[in-house]
């Protein structure tokens, strides 16, 4: 009998980003030395979702505590569930709140992966997001900033096949993005970008739960709308931004104030 419930949301993804477990562990290893086991250390995850990277970092730094802030209550509940299963509930808080003007910092490590928009009121204000991250990180700390960038400038035809109202100014190229980080008061400790395989794993995982549900429930009252949404997203990726849009993972060090 067809399932009458709504499809599960993003349960096939570990990370809400084109990020492999292997890269995630390398990022964690690079950050963990900022979280000294002999001192209280803090991690802030802005736009945390279910906090997969935050929880991985807390696993690797037993003396640290963390806070994840996001506006999606379902994702936050998933984070609390995972934290409980991993014995981390006493060391992490998932708070349903905006990142704009947050007073949760300063923190020794600040994570903001694909969530720079959560820090500013103006869409596409990458410079403003980086200034906020500089405000939120403690002296001598680290920021992990994950942000999209153009691998090359898309053509008008390519933009028309992406998301609604896509424009060339929606993103910088990688050099421009790193320049913004430097202008905001950081030095780039490490610069890396997602691979094609990471993108394929992410995009397939992003759709997998919905596609499986649609296959099993073609007559569901919501199936037509959900099928159109899934087809539109797949076309946006395959015919639009595939191999044009990429994700940068920048490990940033705040410049000391004189």
Mean pLDDT for 109-122 is 96
Helices 223-236, 196-216: axis angle to 10 degrees equals: 160
Can you give the CATH number for the domain in which 72 is found? 3.40.50.150
Q: What is the pLDDT of residue 235?
A: 97
Report the alpha-carbon distance of residue 210 to residue 8 in Å, rounded.
Answer: 7
Q: Are 247 and 17 in contact (CB under 8 A)?
A: yes
Judge if 102 and 222 occupy the same domain.
no
The number of domains in the chain is 2
3-state helix, strand, coil in the chain (%, to 5): 45, 20, 35
Q: Does residue 183 sit within a domain?
A: yes
Chain segment 52-104, per-residue pLDDT in tens: 999 999 999 998 999 999 999 999 999 999 999 999 999 999 999 999 999 99
> Is residue 183 located within the same domain as residue 225?
no
Tell me, yes or no, whether 30 lies in a domain.
yes
Same domain? 145 vs 216 = no
> pTM (2 decimals)?
0.95
pLDDT in tens, 127-147: 999 999 999 999 999 999 999
Domain carrying residue 229: 200-234
SS3 per-residue string spanning 5-58: CCCCCCCCCCCCCCCCHHHHHHHHHHHHHHCCCCCCEEEEEECCCCCHHHHHHH
Given this model, what pLDDT does residue 1 score? 47
Q: Looking at residue 4, what is its pLDDT?
A: 59
Taking the C-alpha atoms of residue 72 and residue 160, their distance in angstroms, rounded to an integer, is 29
Q: Is 2 within the bounds of a domain? A: no
**CB atoms closer than 10 angstroms to residue 121:** 10
Answer yes or no: do 182 and 220 share one domain: no
One domain, residues 166 and 205: no
pLDDT surpasses 70 at 38: no
In a domain, 142, yes or no: yes
Asked whether the predicted pLDDT for residue 216 surpasses 90, the reply is yes
Residue 2 has pLDDT above 90, yes or no: no
């Amino acid at each position: 009998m067809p399932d009458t419930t709504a499809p599960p949301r993003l349960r096939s993804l570990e990370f809400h980003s084109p990020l492999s477990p292997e890269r995630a562990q390398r990022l964690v290893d690079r950050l963990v030395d900022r979280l000294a086991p002999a001192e209280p250390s803090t991690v802030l995850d802005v736009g945390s979702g279910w906090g997969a990277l935050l929880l991985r970092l807390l696993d690797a730094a037993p003396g640290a505590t963390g806070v994840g802030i996001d506006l999606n209550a379902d994702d936050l509940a998933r984070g609390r569930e995972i934290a409980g299963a991993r014995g981390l509930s006493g060391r992490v808080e998932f708070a349903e709140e905006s990142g704009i003007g947050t007073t949760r910092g300063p923190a020794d490590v600040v994570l903001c992966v694909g969530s720079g928009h959560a820090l500013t009121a103006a869409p596409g204000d990458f410079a403003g997001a980086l200034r906020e991250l500089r405000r939120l990180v403690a002296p001598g700390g680290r920021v992990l900033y994950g942000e999209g960038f153009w691998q090359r400038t898309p053509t008008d035809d390519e933009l028309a096949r992406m998301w609604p109202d896509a424009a060339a100014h929606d993103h910088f190229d990688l050099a421009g993005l790193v320049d913004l980080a430097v202008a905001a008061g950081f030095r780039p400790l490490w610069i890396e970008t997602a691979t094609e395989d990471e993108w394929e794993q992410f995009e397939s995982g992003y759709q997998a739960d919905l596609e499986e549900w649609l296959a099993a429930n073609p007559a569901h009252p919501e199936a037509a709308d959900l099928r159109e949404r899934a087809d539109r997203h797949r076309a946006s990726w395959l015919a639009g931004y595939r191999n044009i849009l990429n994700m940068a993972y920048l490990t940033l060090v705040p410049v000391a104030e004189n």
